[in-house]
Amino acid sequence: MNMTRDKQLSQEFISAIEEYRQGALNSRGLAKRAEQITDADEVDSMQDELLSHTFWAMRHLIHRPACWASKPEELYYLARCLRGEDDFDQTFIDTFRET
């Protein structure tokens, strides 16, 4: 089966987030995994807001508790969006920054 690159990235991001959720990866490991999966240039060139946001959220989790850093709940939401279980909504993402 030849998967499109965006579908491949989605699957790899979901796997990495699940490993983080299960404790197999810490925040530093998740950031490293994001960089192993792809890089900023590729993600930006795809012009897919969900993939781009997920990539950066995975990389920025290590900066907690900075107010701009992603939170675990945000990553779990992004994984649901990547699976098609939820609709990606930037205004909803912004609520994670408010608390």
DSSP state letters, 11-53: HHHHHHHHHHHTTSS-HHHHHHHHHHH--HHHHHHHT-HHHHH
Each residue's pLDDT tens digit, 47-71: 999 999 999 999 999 887 777 788 9
H-helix or E-strand spanning residue 66: none
Stretches in the chain below the pLDDT threshold 50: 1
- Say whether pTM exceeds 0.75: yes
| CB 55 within 8 Å of CB 27 | no
Measured between its terminal Cα atoms, the distance across the chain in Å is 43
